[in-house]
Structure 1
């Protein structure tokens, strides 16, 4: 696998980013991956490289770029419970400043950049994201229905925009919720809204998980749930992107 440091021109400046993709000289389907609220760090590179190893070009932008390059704040090697509150106290103003309008402007730029890379083939793309990145992934897919064929969100607040967002989706959807984030009753209501919007989806609570379960540098990490995430994500991409 190759990785490349990149800068994406946006309406508001330049977003730093990295890409991971197979080292075979071929063109591959593109996947836009949004980080969680802690942003780009080694665990995101691990996830992107793992996905690239299955034949995808994975672009991971720093959506906090308006506040500086990643990492925008110093992050410990392990984000344990003893430091989580202090870290999030620094990050919350950045997350709150990342309005839906900013997110959609950025999504336009990210997809335009992704689809013009020489290593990316001409077919549809997918978007995936973690935590707040899951919401950004859903917003991106809803705003680009002709271009995004698949969207996956893991432990993300995907329902906060309401059913209007779902009605704009044409992508195939997978939502992997943390047990600590979503009650069975709330899951039922969310899935009813997806049904009403005519979305093709899977949406499930991953057993025994808390928010952030995919991230190996946090106390929330659950290795079996991370594998379950791959077991859902990879077939979704294979079905929708015609990966060769």
Structure 2
């Protein structure tokens, strides 16, 4: 896959991105654009591989360094980060810096970048995300409804909270088709959370699917300890179906 490293200028600085497009027959045509938001571990090799796979289905994929405000940050070891107090604290501090306003301004810049690329078709885009990135995807769908045609969240946490900034409260603004892939026995997205989210999306008239995976939180990301190959393959099929249906070509 053609894969370039580039930068996107945002109101808060310069964000490194990887931009991946299909190759092979027909690769010169413009493709629907998708922003892939990584999990809490941030931009790393695993997500390069995932972006490449998504591009192979016929999409121009933008993979951003969502932690760019932290400068040249040291990568996390996903096998040990949650068991190491210092690393866990560093990770949570970086996650905490990604407010709704910041992820919205970043997404606006990412969409502007895609709009300006000749490889990208249309002015509405797909977003997908994992764990923290799943929450970002749902948030962006609500905060930037004119620019998001499809949003997918896989083992996303914090989609329903008691806070005024809970993503599920953005349902009335959404115009995207939404897919939620939840992990079983996941405290960050419970059956009760799913019921609240479903109620909010249904009331708002948002076309959506909430589906449970018989796997643990982190099932779709290969370098996560709970990675589950069968569940991961199911997630690829679900995401392909969503984008094929909802993204303009």
TM-score by length of 2: 0.90
The equivalent residue for 2:216 is 210
Give CA-to-partner distance per residue, 1:179-238, whole Å, 9 cap, x none.
12244343223212221222110002211x111111111211011111111111001100
The equivalent residue for 2:147 is 147
Q: Which deviates more, 162-171 or 224-233? A: 162-171
Give unpaired runs (5+ residues) of structure 2: none
Query: Is the CA contact 2:139–2:167 (under 8 Å) kept in the aligned structure 1?
Result: no
Q: Distance in 2 between matches of 1:139 and 1:35?
A: 14
**Judging changes above 3 Å, is the alpha-carbon distance between structure 1 residues 183 and 66 closer, same or farther for their aligned structure 2 residues?**
closer
The equivalent residue for 1:3 is 3
**CA RMSD between the two structures:** 1.5
Q: How do 1:193-232 residues align onto structure 2 when only pairs under 5 Å count?
A: 193-207=200-214, 209-232=215-238
Q: Distance in 1 between matches of 2:200 and 2:137?
A: 18
Structure 1 residue 162, shift from structure 2 partner: 5.0
The equivalent residue for 2:182 is 177
Q: Distance in 1 between matches of 2:167 and 2:230?
A: 30
Secondary structure at 2:31's aligned position in 1?
A: coil
Give CA-to-partner distance per residue, 1:61-97, whole Å, 9 cap, x none.
111001124xx22333xx22x4433233221111111
Query: Is the CA contact 2:142–2:167 (under 8 Å) kept in the aligned structure 1?
Result: no
Q: How do 1:44-55 residues align onto structure 2 when only pairs under 5 Å count?
A: 44-55=47-58
Q: Does 1:66 pair with 2:95?
A: no
Q: Distance in 2 between matches of 1:45 and 1:60?
A: 8
Structure 1 residue 123, shift from structure 2 partner: 4.5
Equivalent position to 1:241, from 240, 243, 247: 247
Equivalent position to 1:26, from 25, 29, 48: 29
Give CA-to-partner distance per residue, 1:107-138, whole Å, 9 cap, x none.
11111111111211125211111111111111
List structure 1 segments (4+ residues) > 4 angstroms apart after TM superposition.
none
Give CA-to-partner distance per residue, 1:29-81, whole Å, 9 cap, x none.
10011010000111101110000001100001111001124xx22333xx22x
Query: Is the CA contact 2:160–2:196 (under 8 Å) kept in the aligned structure 1?
Result: no
**Judging changes above 3 Å, is the alpha-carbon distance between structure 1 residues 99 and 52 closer, same or farther for their aligned structure 2 residues?**
same
Query: Is the CA contact 2:138–2:167 (under 8 Å) kept in the aligned structure 1?
Result: no
The equivalent residue for 1:189 is 196
Equivalent position to 1:43, from 40, 43, 46: 46
Structure 1 residue 144, shift from structure 2 partner: 1.9
Q: Does 1:84 pair with 2:82?
A: yes
Number of positions where the alignment pairs a residue of Structure 1 with one of Structure 2: 237
